[in-house]
Amino acid sequence: MRTVKFTAMKDGDRDDYAFLTEHEIDYAAKTGERLLEALVQLDEGLSGYKITRLGHSLQAATRAWRDGADTDWIVCALLHDIGDVYAPYNHDEYAASVLKPFVREQCTWVVEKHGDFQRLYYAHHLGGNPHARDRFACHHYFDDCDQFCERWDQSSFDPGYETLPIDFFRPFVLEVFARRAYDATVIRAGERVPLIDLEKVRTRTGAPA
């Protein structure tokens, strides 16, 4: 296999870095597929819940889809816990970093902060602060994170819920990670898109045909 000429980066030339850039672009284009593979690894992660971590992720995404959510919200619901395996103490920040170049700023912020918002449901049982979210009370996206957690995250541990399979969400993931990184028309800084689209809800109440 062809490689660069250097053994220290400072010794590389234009041809070396043009060669590496081409390889990096090809590699980055497969990010969506690698994330789908990593998502499956959540089944080998933390146990004790009534469903697996993969099942939780798929259920959250299914709830988002049935709420008429757009592609950014659906993919973020699917991948919001992708850091559980490798970053158990800051899984929310890990997931947000993965998503940040490819989705709305609104969605990135929600994923990054959802760990603090989720504490509302359990921290008081462990002597912790269930109101950690309150420091963000005046933030532009506060209500979005509140609804993300209430509708799609904290409720998605139900083995009786009709959850869509991972292959259903594959096109959504591949679409998002095929975008140009940090495209301002994608990031849409400051813009809020509702989590729920009632017009779409009417056509998404069950499993797709």
Tell which CATH classification among 1.20.1440.230, 1.20.120.550, 1.10.3210.10, 1.10.3810.10 matches the domain 12-201.
1.10.3210.10
pLDDT over 90 at 26, yes or no: no
Query: Domains of the chain: which residue ranges?
Result: 12-201
pLDDT at residue 203 in the model: 86
Closest CA relative to residue 42, chosen from 60, 67, 64, 30: 60
At residue 89, the 3 state secondary structure works out as coil
Q: What is the pLDDT of residues 185-204, one digit of tens each?
A: 999 999 999 999 999 998 88
At residue 68, the 3 state secondary structure works out as coil
For the chain, give the longest Cα–Cα distance. 60
Tokens read off for 67: 């709420």
**Does 102 or 43 have the greater pLDDT score?**
102
pLDDT at residue 206 in the model: 63
Q: What percent of the chain has pLDDT over 90?
A: 82
Overall average pLDDT of the 73-95 stretch: 95
pLDDT at residue 25 in the model: 87
